[in-house]
Amino acid sequence: MSAQRETDLDVVRGLAILLAMGWHFNGHDTGITPLDWLLWPGRAFGWAGVDLFFVLSGFLVGRLVMQEQQRTGRFDAKRFLVRRAFKLWPILYIFLALMALAVPWQTFAWQIGTHLQNYFRTPVATHLWSLAVEEHFYLAFAFLFPVWARHRGGGGTVGVDGLPGLVDRGCAAAPFYRGAAGH
């Protein structure tokens, strides 16, 4: 299957990047009115950038899984998790190895290496809480999607009509994740 870029999703991704950057880099007014006016959306709505990334990621991953389910009649959770691991873990573990050269690894390694830093705080690399939430989503999705697909029945194919309820339950857990991460 060829990877085809979707411009509209790239626009959403770009908006999410700008919002997140605006949130992190706009602590106060500059005193220059035109510049403050341009920076205001980041200050006011920048928090939504990470949320938008989560929604976009869930949409894209969910769509891939739904397409696999419709194409093959099944969902290979093991393959799904291995693909996610090879996509995210290599750079994470390189980052952890480099951090271990600068900071005592006992202060962060087990929390970040096991994706539990949003439950057990670390004094460094606190930005990785969102990666932990993403990993939790992948694990939950890999275990819950097959159950949902079996429950839906219909000859092995899954429609999107029941997906809003599943998404709603996932969103209900989001404040818990954010609260645990302190964000």
The model's pLDDT over 95-119, given as tens digits with 9 standing for 90+, comes to 888 888 888 877 777 888 888 887 8
Q: Looking at the whole model, is its pTM more than 0.75? A: no
Gap between the Cα atoms of 126 and 117, Å rounded? 8
Backbone angles phi, psi at 132, to 5 degrees: -65, -45
8 A C-beta contact, residue 15 and residue 2: no
pLDDT (tens digit per residue) in 3-47: 567 888 889 989 998 888 888 887 778 888 988 888 888 888 888
The answer on pLDDT for 168 being more than 60 is no
SS3 content of the chain, % helix, strand, coil (to 5): 75, 0, 25
Quick one: pLDDT band at residue 169, thresholds 50, 70, 90? low
Q: In this model, does residue 79 exceed pLDDT 70?
A: yes
Tokens of 32: 């220059």
What was the pLDDT predicted at 23? 84
Q: Which position has the token pair 């770009």?
A: 14
